[in-house]
Amino acid sequence: MKVILVYDINEKRVAKVLKTCRKYLHWVQNSVFEGDISEAKLEKFKLELRKIINEKEDSVIIYTFRTAWYTKRETMGVRKGGEELII
């Protein structure tokens, strides 16, 4: 499935969350990742994130697309991250 993940994490934990996200998805922009991932790997990924984040302070949002990816992607301004890796 296709996934877009965005997060807002306390700076004490952000490095660990960033490292974990990079294991599973492609970095697009500050606090934004996207990629293709199996349901099993997504569940493992979420378990790893739950061990790191503080659910009273931090926020992680995961958008899943089971059948289609976005139809158009437009970047205005500075391009960041691994955009060239996305299909």
Mean pLDDT by 10 residues, the chain (87 residues): 94 96 95 95 97 95 82 71 52
Q: What is the pLDDT of residue 14?
A: 96
Q: What is the pLDDT of residue 31?
A: 95
The model's pTM:
0.81
β-sheet bridge partners, residue 4:
34, 63
Instruction: Output phi, psi for 70, to 5 deg.
Output: -60, 155
Rounded CA-CA distance 4/16 in Å is 18
Q: Which two tokens stand for residue 58?
A: 């931090």
Q: What is the pLDDT of residue 69?
A: 67
Q: What is the pLDDT of residue 86?
A: 44
Q: Which domains does the chain have, with CATH numbers?
A: 2-68 (3.30.70.240)
The number of beta carbons lying within 10 Å of the beta carbon of residue 5 is 24
Q: What is the pLDDT of residue 76?
A: 72
Q: What is the pLDDT of residue 63?
A: 92
